[in-house]
Homo-oligomer: A and B are copies of this chain.
Amino acid sequence: MADAKLPEILFQHRVSYGETDAMGVLYYAEYLHIFERARTAFTHILGLPYKEVEERGIYLPVREAQCRYRSPARYDDLLNVLCGIAGWRPASFKFTYRVTREADGVLIAEGLTSHALVNKAGKPVAVPDWFREVFAHLPGQEK
Contact = CB atoms under 8 A, between A and B. Distances in A.
Interface of A: 14, 16-18, 20-25, 27-30, 32-33, 36-37, 40, 49-51, 59, 61-69, 72, 74-76, 113, 122
B67 A65 contact: yes
Contacts of A32: 18, 28-29, 32
Q: Binding site of A, secondary structure by majority: helix, strand, loop or mixed?
A: mixed
The number of times this chain is found in the oligomer is 4
Contacts of A29: 18, 29-30, 32-33, 36
Contact of A63 (B21, B59, B68): B68
A64 B31 CA distance: 11
- Which of A30, A32, A66, A122 has most B Cβ within 10 Å? A32
A10 to B, nearest CB: 16
